[in-house]
Amino acid sequence: MKSVFTLISIVILHICLSFLAPNQSPAQSKDTSETKSPPSNNYYLKAAKMHFELKDYAKAIDTLELAILLEPDNTETLALLKESRRLLEGKKTSPEMQAKTCVSREMTTPPVTEEDPASLLQNVYTAMKEGRHDDAVEITNRILAMDPANKEALYLKEKINERKHEYITENLKATHIQEKLKSHEYLKEASVPHQDTLQFPERGQWKDILKRTLPEMDKIVEENKKKTEQLRLIPDPVLESPPKVIEDALNTIISFEFLDTPLRDVIIFIREKTNVNMIIDPEAGNASISLKLKDVPLRTALKYILPKGYEYVIEGDIIHVYKQKMELRVYDIRDILINLDDKEPLEFDITAAASTQLSMRKKETVKTKDPSARVFDLIELIVTTIEPSSWSFRTSVIGASATGGQRHINIPGQGEGSIIARMGQPGDLVVVNTKYVHKQIENLLASLRSAQNLQVNIEARFISVSDTFFEDIGSNFSEFFSEDASIDTGADSDISDLVAGEGLQVSYSILSDSMLKGFIRAVQESKDSEILTSPRITLSNTQRGNIAVVQTINYIQSTSVSEGVVTPVIGTIPEGTTFDVRPIVSADRKYIYLEVTPSVFTVEEITSFTFSGLSTDADIGGGVGTTNIPPEQTVQLPKVNVSQVSVTVCVPDKGTLMIGGLGSVTKDTITTGIPVLSKIPILKRLFSHDQKNNQKSNLVILLKPTILIREEQEAKFLSK
């Protein structure tokens, strides 16, 4: 009985152990695998750890996403990715923002609704299909923020970047092809040698130009006022909305008539009519008011009642009228001080008669104003045109003189206003004056900015068209010689040998007591050519600018003897194009006045010239050694073709004007032959020689300006 009980106990214990073993073995195997697994060889994980140690969490996250693709089940990678995301978010969020976020979460606890990754993935595919790659990447990042190990999102992120680069590359290729076609179209259009002196643009373009109206000055000033406000370094304080009682009082309709009434009495009248608290400074109450208005809001009436230099301010439930106090404001005027002085003009210096040297040089340097002088001019404009009496009699520009001192402007004003510019940082204008004066300064600066919005693109075209026809038919006799002379059989000639430029040539010999040698030649050549040179330049309205595209050609100018050695002196010739122009846009923005000097220089040929100063080699001795001077020396003579014109003209916007040209026709006919024999039909070709040379050429110089208005260009860009 005891043995049976023991057997039953063993069976029960075995069953219990069998139930416990499955629950323990996974954990044990997991622990074993974790402890005994070799270190990972994932390169991206190692790189991510390095970025993590350097606290570059953004790069660490990008690298870890690649590491997960290689080892999706690597817990170390997942943990490091999660920690990197947490630290990156903490880095982006300041402690103050975190505190505000915590407070807002405590105060409002709405139900948290998480977006479904599956629906977000569908949005990713839709964005990819529509070509919105940036949106697709943003949605993918949201998915990875919820599930860092989402394999599909990781794969899609890499795929999106690849497609984005492919899309950009294809767009660049297409743009390159389109712009290349546009370039070919431009060259075809530009090479048309228009013979009309003035050519307007296409009818549709000119109608649009005629519709062009000057923007209203108020709108221009208002737009540039916003820019002035943005550039002001000390902005106005933000005004709070007035109380309802003050707002109702300002909207009250009143009528009145004052004749030499003190301002103090006017304020008392308004206070009784509107039942609102109004006070006035003692020094401001003596101003005399003469005004009659009927049925106008108090807000509007106060604009006309208060004299110049007076204003009202709302202080709680009180309207306070006082004489304006001085305010300090700093204006940024760097964009107004842009240097639009003329650039140094270029000219082609042909002084071969005096110095046997051709060169490209600049004319006399145009003096430009330094920044301090431009600031001084602007300050002088402000203090002499805007309330001169409000400024102090001495206004200075710090650091304006050569010694770094002050430059003063003497004005008749006896006010308290001042204006100072710091020359260490040109462009900061410090102004102390009333609000009324500051408002006028803003209007002036806005108007000056509006005048700088115009640019002009000018294109000059040098079109050279030539047509050449050449014909040479006939027989030439080389020589008569006696019977004892050697005989050339002409065996080397071949009637089928037609070489370009030489035509048909047949050599022949007549053998008799007196022998004759000659050849028959037939050549006909026709040549048409077009040469287009088109410099283009874009510059600000009224500014003179220039462009030069020139290469230099070397030639032997002369020779010199030094220390027993004869050496050549090398000269240079510029060849290319220069374009000097000043555009002035008309007030209605439909025409452009141009002061223009386009030039084209071409080296046609360089011929060698050999001269002899001695009959034989000469040895010239002196001192220790001698110099051997050869009897002949060679120099080179360049032949330069210059096309240049300098004019002042008026051209419609986008129109074409011919400002110069040169046409020439040359006809040469030469006939030679043996008398009598050259008149016999058919046989005359054996005893005559006819040569014709016809040349026609036409050089046309055209100008085409285009006004670039900032507002039009911006509207055109936004309408695409």
**Strand runs labelled E in 136-237:** 198-199
Hey, what are 685's tokens?
A: 């070709």
* Distance in angstroms (rounded) separating the CA atoms of residues 64 and 84: 9
Looking only at the bridges linking them, the beta strands covering 318-323 and 327-332 are unpaired
* Distance in angstroms (rounded) separating the CA atoms of residues 534 and 192: 12
Whether residue 122 is contained in a domain is answered as yes
Q: Are 338 and 387 in a shared domain?
A: yes
pLDDT of amino acid 23: 42
Q: Are 76 and 126 in a shared domain?
A: yes
> For the CA atoms of 41, 43, 46, 51, what is the dihedral angle to 10 degrees?
-170
Looking only at the bridges linking them, the beta strands covering 277-280 and 318-323 are parallel
pLDDT of amino acid 650: 92
Residue 432: how many CB atoms within 10 A of its CB? 17
pLDDT of amino acid 618: 53
Q: What is the number of residues in the chain?
A: 720
Q: Helices (DSSP H) in 275-350: which residue ranges?
A: 298-305
**Pair 280, 311: CB distance under 8 Å:** no
Q: Are 77 and 127 in a shared domain?
A: yes
Q: Are 254 and 309 in a shared domain?
A: yes
Instruction: Give residues with Cβ within 8 angstroms of 556, minimum separation 6.
Output: 568, 569, 570, 571, 634, 635, 636
Whether residue 517 is contained in a domain is answered as yes
The answer to whether the pTM exceeds 0.85 is no
**3-class SS letters over 535-559:** CEEEEECCCCEEEEEEEEEEEEEEE
Instruction: Give residues with Cβ within 8 angstroms of 400, minimum separation 6.
Output: 372, 373, 375, 376, 406, 407, 421, 423
* Distance in angstroms (rounded) separating the CA atoms of residues 197 and 184: 25
**3-class SS letters over 345-390:** CEEEEECHHHHCCEEEEECCCCCCCCHHHHHHHHHHHHHHHCCHHH
Whether residue 535 is contained in a domain is answered as no
Q: Are 357 and 292 in a shared domain?
A: no
Total tally of structural domains belonging to the chain: 4
| Furthest-apart CA atoms within the chain: distance in Å | 165
Query: Of the residues 396, 419, 452, which one is the last residue of a structural domain?
Result: 452
Q: Helices (DSSP H) in 549-659: which residue ranges?
A: none
Task: Give the dihedral sign, CA 410/411/414/418.
Answer: negative
Query: Of the residues 260, 285, 315, which one is the last residue of a structural domain?
Result: 315
State the Cα angle at 634 between 629 and 640, rounded to 5°: 150
The single-letter DSSP state of residue 105 is H
Looking only at the bridges linking them, the beta strands covering 536-540 and 454-481 are antiparallel
* Distance in angstroms (rounded) separating the CA atoms of residues 691 and 267: 107
Q: Are 88 and 138 in a shared domain?
A: yes
Closest CA to 51 of 84, 93, 85, 79: 84
- Residue 147 identity: D
Q: Are 438 and 342 in a shared domain?
A: yes
Q: Hey, which residues does 666 pair with through a beta bridge?
A: 695
Whether residue 76 is contained in a domain is answered as yes
**Pair 579, 345: CB distance under 8 Å:** no
Q: Are 437 and 515 in a shared domain?
A: no
Whether residue 619 is contained in a domain is answered as no
* Distance in angstroms (rounded) separating the CA atoms of residues 55 and 47: 12
Whether residue 363 is contained in a domain is answered as yes
Whether residue 615 is contained in a domain is answered as no
Q: Are 445 and 495 in a shared domain?
A: no
Q: Helices (DSSP H) in 541-683: which residue ranges?
A: none
Q: Are 435 and 493 in a shared domain?
A: no
Hey, what are 591's tokens?
A: 């025409």
* Distance in angstroms (rounded) separating the CA atoms of residues 176 and 217: 41
pLDDT of amino acid 706: 92
Q: How distant, in Å, are the alpha carbons of 343, 409, 410, 544, 636 from that of 374? A: 17, 14, 17, 18, 51
pLDDT along the chain (720 residues), means of 10: 49 47 39 41 70 76 74 81 82 53 42 63 84 86 84 84 84 82 81 78 81 60 59 51 82 88 86 85 77 87 82 82 81 77 61 44 55 78 83 59 56 74 70 85 82 84 84 63 44 40 48 51 79 86 86 86 76 86 88 88 87 57 55 83 86 88 84 80 77 85 88 78
Q: Are 157 and 134 in a shared domain?
A: yes
The parent domain of residue 250 ranges over 243-315
**Pair 146, 117: CB distance under 8 Å:** yes
Hey, what are 260's tokens?
A: 């030499």
Task: Give the dihedral sign, CA 61/66/67/68.
Answer: positive
* Distance in angstroms (rounded) separating the CA atoms of residues 587 and 585: 7
**Pair 60, 48: CB distance under 8 Å:** yes
pLDDT of amino acid 125: 85
Instruction: Give residues with Cβ within 8 angstroms of 449, minimum separation 6.
Output: 224, 227, 228, 335, 336
**Pair 463, 530: CB distance under 8 Å:** yes
The single-letter DSSP state of residue 497 is -
Hey, what are 593's tokens?
A: 């006045």
Whether residue 384 is contained in a domain is answered as yes
Task: Give the dihedral sign, CA 103/104/108/113.
Answer: negative
The single-letter DSSP state of residue 490 is -
Q: Are 334 and 374 in a shared domain?
A: yes
Helices 75-92 & 43-53 angle (0-180, nearest 10) = 30
Place of tokens 């027993």: 564
